[in-house]
């Protein structure tokens, strides 16, 4: 069922496509100059250290292939198991380990005497026949106490007649016996139970080959032997993907898929073994195109399925022009050169029932993709799709003619849709149209209803402005009846953490718990959180920092980051020493892990471009950071386990802001320290902390107004402060405020270590 969903456009019968043969399209692309020639031959040979399809062991200069799914060859894996038990780190291990030469027999070698026979011994490079002759000669000479002269012996030997190529249809190797199979396929033949019982006659060497006669083969069932030769898979030479025997279209699809996958910014890991399994399955099932590929078939369904799926996504881009995609009801963001973070290129709009509404949505989204206002993430696109879907499905049920004719729609129909959404929101009812990933209906909430209202309004207002509504004959009143979402939108958690929550979330014991229980492989959940708490950065800004995000300037510890949300790049703020140490420790861990994974220690520009918190998969160069989802999936259960209530990481920013205000910082300071803060948010902070007045009260009163002696002065003079004096004191306090060590209350009024004015970055 999931398969149908994204294959639908490929499976659909499209008469417009006549004459545009898919194979022709792919053949033209593969022959094009931008295609990587590595993927062109029918036997693809990948270099061992390939950036995406690397198959060589990670130890420097080790020429052996990785053992199934790991990064080390089997020998190094064995050694590493012993070393790690003794407490040696992976980074230290790969740095110290010596590379191994390629395993004997890991590529085809030819006998040094016979040009047509494969070598059976790769050091001596001798075929089976010459190897036994040499062994005999050496034993003879060894009896006399003298080593036989190999070079002399070779020069006296005669080449033997070739056995031809391996009889397996797709095998490029030489046969090593009159049976007509290469060494690998000979043993494979025996393992497969020798179908057809092909065999050489007894004493075949003495009776036939020795006298130069062809060796007649004996079969119980020659047809069965032939069938086996036609269907058996290729020898998995290291670095090789053998595409022979595939149908031409599926062959081109896999070649194109391998090429495009290697072009991706964040390719998933595709081990050559998994690709081979896909190829073998397609060959065995005589698949014509990956479109027909049955997921779950073959020996490793999980990986081959994932690979086939990704190739299909790429093929859709190739097989469809944007106009054809619009016709088929989907949008490919990559047709416009846009790929949203963590998203596929594909946006399915086929579930919007009315063709006019679907096209309207498609055109609007396509315009957005072309414009400089194009959103940075796929979120807004989801909103537009959801809005059009909710309206469309509602009209299908309630509007005249299912809403398929825009000319009959009136204001009342829009108003009924609005009322229906509000009703569902109030009653917590299910959405008519939207399903959650599990298949259950989505619930209409304040948020979803607001998204729907705002998006559908924008969509249709735009149609009004551009004259599209007129062309459709869509009543102006239908559009104007759709309201904006109103003040209920964006009710995000703008509150700071309550004191006890703030304390719990920054206490050493709970931080240790976060690291130990929720991030056992230590990818940095605790460090990310501590940095967020201390600096008040947005979570995304912390997760995405580069390896060289810390530095000292004039002796002060600084933290560099990108404020992508507001387009402010490479901003720096001061951080406390403690945090500096935490981040420096993370730098070391990240470097060690990189070394362990890639076999060398990066330096210079490469090192500085690494992600400080790199993702553990989907990255082949250590520059891709962890995702928000990764962090939330650690943060949420951690907070839930403390039974504090529902809190989100972003509240740390508000907590720090109000804390700063409470401790005497001014709004100017806040803006400087937190980066961009909207006016609305700034007002909110001031409101929360009562700013100056509270500062004055806090530092001037001994105790709050509710105590026994309210109004008693903190120090010195007996006379109460005048308003001017109080204000002066407040100003003075805020000027002397400076970041200090510790959790949320990073700022304290302080007379030491205050940076001179003007030394604050930005
Ligand atoms: Zn190795
Ligand atoms: Zn030979
Ligand atoms: Zn073979």
- Summarised one tens digit per residue, pLDDT across range 558-597 is 888 776 555 556 667 778 888 899 999 999 999 888 888 7
Q: Distance, CA 274 to ligand 3 centroid (Å)?
A: 21
Question: Do residues 740 and 631 share a domain?
Answer: no
Residue 758's pLDDT is 34
Buried b or exposed e, range 721-756, using 16+ CB within 10 angstroms: eeeeebeebbeebbeebbbeeebbbbbebeeeeeee
User: Looking at the predicted structure, is the pLDDT value of residue 25 above 50?
Assistant: yes
Between helix 248-263 and helix 22-31 the angle, nearest 10°, is: 50
CB 375: neighbour CB atoms within 10 A? 14
Q: Distance, CA 57 to ligand 1 centroid (Å)?
A: 5
Q: Distance, CA 127 to ligand 2 centroid (Å)?
A: 4
Examine the fold and report which residue of 102, 120, 136 is the final residue of a domain before the chain moves on: 102
Q: Which two tokens stand for residue 435?
A: 């399903």
Residue 493's pLDDT is 54
Domain count, the chain: 7
Question: Do residues 260 and 176 share a domain?
Answer: no
Measured CA to CA, the distance from residue 647 to residue 552 in angstroms comes to 34
Q: What is the CA radius of gyration of the chain?
A: 35
Measured CA to CA, the distance from residue 669 to residue 553 in angstroms comes to 20
Residue 459 and residue 482 in contact, taking contact as beta carbons nearer than 8 Å:
no
Examine the fold and report which residue of 187, 204, 226 is the final residue of a domain before the chain moves on: 226
Interval 590-635: pLDDT, tens: 988 888 877 788 888 888 888 999 987 666 678 888 988 889 989 9
Which of 119-128, 336-345, 383-392, 648-657 has maximum average pLDDT?
383-392
Residue 738: pLDDT band with limits 50, 70, 90 = very low
Q: Distance, CA 179 to ligand 2 centroid (Å)?
A: 17
Residues with Cβ within 8 Å of 260's Cβ and at least 6 positions away in sequence, in order, are: 311, 314
Q: Distance, CA 63 to ligand 1 centroid (Å)?
A: 7
Interval 423-480: pLDDT, tens: 998 888 888 888 777 778 888 888 889 899 999 999 999 999 999 999 999 999 999 9
403 Rama sector, left if φ>0, alpha if ψ -120 to 50, beta otherwise? left
Does some domain include residue 426?
yes
Q: Give the ligand whose atoms come closest to the C-alpha of residue 161.
A: 2
Q: Could you identify the residue written with the tokens 């490479």?
A: 570
Contacts 24+ apart (CB under 8 A), 100-104: 100/57, 100/59, 100/62, 100/63, 100/64, 100/73, 100/75, 100/76, 101/63, 102/63, 102/64, 102/238, 103/64
Q: Distance, CA 126 to ligand 2 centroid (Å)?
A: 5
Residue 117 and residue 163 in contact, taking contact as beta carbons nearer than 8 Å:
yes
Q: Distance, CA 205 to ligand 2 centroid (Å)?
A: 15
Does some domain include residue 233?
no
Residues with Cβ within 8 Å of 533's Cβ and at least 6 positions away in sequence, in order, are: 505, 506, 652, 655, 656, 743, 744
Between helix 577-598 and helix 525-535 the angle, nearest 10°, is: 150
Examine the fold and report which residue of 480, 515, 545 is the final residue of a domain before the chain moves on: 480
Question: Do residues 344 and 388 share a domain?
Answer: yes
Q: Which uninterrupted H or E stretch holds 581?
A: helix 577-598
Q: Could you identify the residue written with the tokens 């009896």?
A: 143
Q: Distance, CA 77 to ligand 1 centroid (Å)?
A: 8
Q: Give the ligand whose atoms come closest to the C-alpha of residue 189.
A: 3
Question: Do residues 37 and 96 share a domain?
Answer: no
Does some domain include residue 757?
no
Q: Distance, CA 116 to ligand 2 centroid (Å)?
A: 8
pTM across the whole model: 0.66
Domain that holds residue 719: 691-745
Interval 646-674: pLDDT, tens: 888 888 888 877 777 777 677 777 776 67
Q: Distance, CA 129 to ligand 3 centroid (Å)?
A: 19
Q: Distance, CA 133 to ligand 2 centroid (Å)?
A: 10
Share of the chain above pLDDT 70, in %: 80
Share of the chain above pLDDT 90, in %: 29
Residue 604's pLDDT is 83
Q: What is the mean pLDDT of residues 60-86?
A: 84
Question: Do residues 305 and 387 share a domain?
Answer: no
Q: Distance, CA 639 to ligand 1 centroid (Å)?
A: 43
Question: Do residues 436 and 578 share a domain?
Answer: no
Between helix 525-535 and helix 508-518 the angle, nearest 10°, is: 140
Does some domain include residue 514?
yes
Residue 490's pLDDT is 47
Residue 686's pLDDT is 65
Quote the distance between the C-alpha of residue 78 and its chain's center. Answer: 30
Residue 748: pLDDT band with limits 50, 70, 90 = very low
Q: Give the ligand whose atoms come closest to the C-alpha of residue 229.
A: 3
User: Looking at the predicted structure, is the pLDDT value of residue 687 above 70?
Assistant: no
Question: Do residues 15 and 47 share a domain?
Answer: yes
Q: Give the ligand whose atoms come closest to the C-alpha of residue 181.
A: 3
Residue 743: pLDDT band with limits 50, 70, 90 = very low
User: Looking at the predicted structure, is the pLDDT value of residue 107 above 80?
Assistant: no
Question: Do residues 177 and 309 share a domain?
Answer: no
Q: Give the ligand whose atoms come closest to the C-alpha of residue 154.
A: 2
Does some domain include residue 489?
no
Q: What is the mean pLDDT of residues 233-256?
A: 92
Q: Distance, CA 100 to ligand 3 centroid (Å)?
A: 26
User: Looking at the predicted structure, is the pLDDT value of residue 139 above 60?
Assistant: yes
Question: Do residues 137 and 282 share a domain?
Answer: no
Q: Distance, CA 186 to ligand 2 centroid (Å)?
A: 18
Question: Do residues 337 and 467 share a domain?
Answer: yes
Residue 256 and residue 30 in contact, taking contact as beta carbons nearer than 8 Å:
yes
Report which of residues 467 and 759 the model is more confident about.
Answer: 467
Q: Distance, CA 104 to ligand 1 centroid (Å)?
A: 14
Residue 169 and residue 183 in contact, taking contact as beta carbons nearer than 8 Å:
no
Residue 563's pLDDT is 62
Does some domain include residue 490?
no
Q: What is the mean pLDDT of residues 104-115?
A: 83
Does some domain include residue 756?
no
Q: Distance, CA 57 to ligand 3 centroid (Å)?
A: 26
Measured CA to CA, the distance from residue 425 to residue 406 in angstroms comes to 27
Question: Do residues 155 and 167 share a domain?
Answer: no
Residue 690: pLDDT band with limits 50, 70, 90 = low
Residue 700's pLDDT is 45
Q: Could you identify the residue written with the tokens 């386990």?
A: 641
Report which of residues 140 and 294 the model is more confident about.
Answer: 140
- CA neighbours within 13 Å on the CB side: how many for 758? 0
Question: Do residues 168 and 157 share a domain?
Answer: no
**Residues with a beta carbon under 5 angstroms from ion ligand 2:** 111, 113-114, 117, 127, 130
Does some domain include residue 753?
no
Report which of residues 244 and 679 the model is more confident about.
Answer: 244
Q: For the purposes of burial, counting CB atoms within 10 Å of the CB of 704, is it exposed (0-12), middle (13-18) or buried (19 or more)?
A: exposed
Q: Distance, CA 424 to ligand 1 centroid (Å)?
A: 61
Measured CA to CA, the distance from residue 390 to residue 395 in angstroms comes to 9
Mean pLDDT of the chain: 80
Q: Which two tokens stand for residue 101?
A: 């030469």
């Amino acid at each position: 069922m999931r398969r149908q969903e994204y294959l639908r456009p490929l499976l659909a019968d499209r008469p417009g496509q006549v004459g545009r043969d898919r194979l022709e399209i792919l053949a033209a692309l593969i022959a094009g100059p931008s295609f990587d020639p590595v993927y062109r031959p029918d036997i693809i040979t990948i270099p061992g250290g390939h950036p995406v399809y690397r198959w060589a062991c990670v130890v420097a200069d080790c020429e052996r292939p990785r053992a199934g799914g790991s990064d080390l060859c089997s020998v190094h894996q064995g050694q590493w198991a012993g070393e790690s038990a003794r407490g040696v780190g992976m980074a230290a291990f790969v740095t110290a380990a010596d590379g191994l030469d390629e395993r004997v027999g890991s590529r085809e070698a030819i006998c040094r005497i016979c040009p047509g026979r494969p070598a059976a011994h790769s050091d001596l490079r001798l075929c089976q026949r010459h190897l036994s002759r040499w062994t005999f000669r050496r034993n003879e000479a060894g009896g006399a106490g003298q080593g036989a002269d190999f070079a002399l012996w070779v020069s006296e030997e005669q080449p033997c007649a070739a056995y031809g190529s391996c009889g397996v249809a797709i095998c490029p190797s030489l046969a090593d016996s009159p049976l007509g199979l290469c060494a690998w396929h000979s043993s494979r033949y025996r393992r497969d139970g020798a179908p057809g019982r092909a065999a050489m006659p007894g004493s075949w060497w003495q009776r036939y080959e020795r006298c130069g006669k062809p060796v007649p083969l004996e079969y119980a069932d020659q047809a069965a032997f032939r069938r086996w030769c036609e269907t058996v898979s290729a020898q998995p030479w290291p670095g090789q993907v053998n595409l022979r025997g595939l149908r031409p279209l599926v062959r081109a699809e896999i070649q194109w898929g391998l090429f495009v996958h290697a072009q991706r910014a964040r390719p998933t890991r595709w081990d050559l073994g998994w690709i081979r399994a896909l190829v073998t399955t397609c060959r065995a099932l005589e698949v014509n195109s990956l479109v027909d590929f049955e997921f779950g078939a073959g020996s490793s369904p999980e990986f081959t399925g994932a690979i086939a799926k990704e190739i299909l996504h790429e093929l859709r881009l190739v097989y469809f022009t944007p106009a054809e995609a619009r016709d088929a009801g989907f949008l490919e963001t990559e047709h416009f050169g846009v790929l949203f973070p963590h998203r596929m290129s594909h946006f399915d709009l086929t579930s919007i029932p009315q063709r006019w509404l679907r096209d309207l949505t498609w055109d609007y989204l396509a315009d957005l993709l072309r414009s400089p206002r194009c959103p940075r993430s796929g979120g807004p696109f989801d909103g537009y799709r959801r809005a059009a879907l909710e309206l469309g499905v509602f009209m299908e049920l309630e509007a005249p003619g299912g809403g398929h004719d825009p000319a009959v729609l009136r204001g009342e129909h829009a108003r009924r849709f609005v009322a229906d959404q509000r009703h569902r929101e109030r009653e917590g009812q299910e959405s008519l149209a939207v399903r959650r990933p599990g298949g259950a209906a989505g619930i209409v909430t304040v948020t979803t209803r607001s998204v729907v209202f705002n998006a559908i309004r924008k969509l249709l207002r735009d149609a009004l402005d551009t004259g599209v509504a007129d062309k459709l004959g869509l009543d102006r009143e239908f559009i104007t009846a759709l309201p904006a979402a109103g003040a209920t939108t964006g009710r995000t958690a703008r509150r700071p953490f309550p004191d006890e929550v703030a304390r719990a979330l920054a206490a050493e014991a709970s931080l240790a718990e976060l690291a130990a229980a929720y991030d056992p492989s230590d990818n940095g959940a605790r460090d990310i959180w501590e940095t967020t708490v201390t600096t008040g950065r947005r979570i995304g800004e912390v997760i995405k920092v580069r390896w060289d995000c810390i530095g000292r300037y004039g002796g002060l510890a600084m933290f560099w980051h990108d404020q992508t949300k507001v387009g402010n790049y490479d901003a720096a703020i001061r951080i406390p020493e403690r945090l500096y140490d935490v981040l420096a420790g993370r730098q070391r861990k990240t470097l060690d892990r990189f070394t362990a994974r890639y076999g060398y220690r990066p330096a210079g520009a490469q090192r500085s471009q690494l992600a400080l918190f790199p993702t553990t998969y989907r990255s082949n160069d250590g520059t891709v950071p962890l995702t928000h989802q990764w962090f939330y999936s650690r943060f949420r259960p951690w907070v839930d386990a403390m039974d504090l209530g529902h809190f989100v990481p972003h509240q740390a920013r508000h907590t720090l802001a109000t804390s700063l205000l409470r401790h005497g910082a001014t709004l100017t300071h806040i803006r400087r320290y937190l980066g961009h803060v909207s006016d609305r948010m700034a007002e909110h902070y001031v409101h929360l902390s009562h700013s100056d007045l509270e500062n004055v009260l806090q530092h001037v009163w001994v105790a709050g107004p509710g105590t026994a002696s309210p109004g008693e002065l903190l120090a010195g003079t007996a006379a109460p402060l005048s308003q001017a004096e109080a204000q002066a004191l407040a100003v003075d306090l805020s000027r002397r405020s400076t970041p200090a060590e510790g959790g949320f209350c990073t700022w304290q009024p302080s007379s030491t270590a205050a940076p001179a004015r003007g030394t604050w970055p930005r």
